[in-house]
């Protein structure tokens, strides 16, 4: 009976030790996951930091006034081209348009001489 009590106490102690060990392993696994997640967060924050630095440099290079000036110049150029197109479209007579179409047909119907295709195989590139 005394030996059985001793063995039961030993068994109980081993079970408690096993439970503590399992809890410690579980805590370690949680800590590893937290560390991995923190590392990912650090990479994201570093990426955001680099992105913000790039944006600030771009803003220093190009100001709002510069962008407005470029947009204005582009609009002016588009308007100028539109005026040229209107002038050209309005100044052509029907005979001019017929001559243009005939010239276009002549150009598209001409046989174009193309260079000969090489027959030897292409050299292989080494990676």
- Please report the pLDDT score of residue 54 as a whole number: 92
In a domain, 125, yes or no: no
Structural domain boundaries enclosing 83: 1-89
State mean pLDDT over 38-43.
Answer: 96
Name the pLDDT band for 49 (thresholds 50, 70, 90).
very high
In a domain, 117, yes or no: no
Determine the distance from the C-alpha atom of residue 2 to the mean position of all C-alpha atoms in its chain, rounded to a whole number.
75
Question: Which tops the pLDDT comparison, 37 or 121?
Answer: 37
In a domain, 16, yes or no: yes
- Please report the pLDDT score of residue 111 as a whole number: 66
In a domain, 75, yes or no: yes
DSSP one-letter string for 59-78: HHHS-HHHHHHHHHHHHHHH
In a domain, 63, yes or no: yes
- Please report the pLDDT score of residue 127 as a whole number: 59
In a domain, 13, yes or no: yes
State mean pLDDT over 11-38.
Answer: 95
- Please report the pLDDT score of residue 52 as a whole number: 94
Write down the pTM of the prediction: 0.42
Distance CA 1, CA 67 (A): 94
DSSP one-letter string for 20-88: HHHHHHHHHHHHHHHHHHHHHHHHHHHHHHHHHHHHHHHHHHS-HHHHHHHHHHHHHHHHHHHHHHHHH
In a domain, 34, yes or no: yes
- Please report the pLDDT score of residue 96 as a whole number: 76
Distance CA 8, CA 15 (A): 10
Per residue in 56-102, pLDDT tens? 988 888 888 888 899 999 999 999 998 888 777 766 677 877 888 88
In a domain, 64, yes or no: yes
Q: What is the number of structural domains in the chain?
A: 1
Per residue in 100-123, pLDDT tens? 888 888 877 776 666 777 788 877
- Please report the pLDDT score of residue 13 as a whole number: 94
């Amino acid at each position: 009976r005394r030996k059985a009590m001793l063995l039961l106490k030993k068994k109980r102690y081993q079970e408690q030790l096993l439970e503590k060990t399992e809890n410690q392993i579980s805590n370690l696994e949680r800590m590893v996951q937290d560390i991995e997640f923190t590392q990912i967060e650090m990479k994201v924050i570093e990426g955001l930091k680099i992105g913000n630095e790039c944006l600030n440099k771009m803003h220093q290079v190009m100001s709002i006034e510069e962008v407005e000036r470029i947009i204005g110049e582009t609009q002016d150029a588009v308007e100028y081209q539109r005026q040229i197109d209107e002038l050209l479209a309005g100044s052509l007579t029907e005979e001019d348009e017929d001559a243009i179409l005939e010239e276009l047909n002549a150009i598209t119907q001409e046989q174009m001489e193309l260079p000969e295709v090489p027959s030897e195989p292409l050299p292989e590139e080494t990676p």
